[in-house]
Amino acid sequence: MSTMIAIPDELVEQVKSVARAEALDEFFIDAARKQVRAIRARQLREEYERAHRRFTPRQVYERTLAQVVAFETKYALSSDQFLQDFESGLIDEDRSDWVAFYRWRTLAYGLRQMEKEYSFKREAQSGGNGQA
Q: How many folded domains does the chain comprise? A: 1
Residue 1 lies in a domain: no
pLDDT above 90: residue 114: yes
Residue 98 lies in a domain: yes
Nearest to 100 by CA among 60, 121, 73: 73
Model confidence band, residue 4 (pLDDT cutoffs 50, 70, 90): low
Residue 2 lies in a domain: no
Residue 131 lies in a domain: no
Residue 5 lies in a domain: no
Query: What are 29-45's pLDDT values in tens digits?
Result: 888 888 888 898 889 88
The whole domain housing 72 covers 10-126
Q: Are 68 and 108 a contacting pair, CB within 8 Å?
A: yes
| Higher pLDDT, residue 23 or 72 | 72
Model confidence band, residue 117 (pLDDT cutoffs 50, 70, 90): very high
Q: Give the integer Cα–Cα distance in Å for 37 and 102.
A: 7
**pTM here?**
0.57
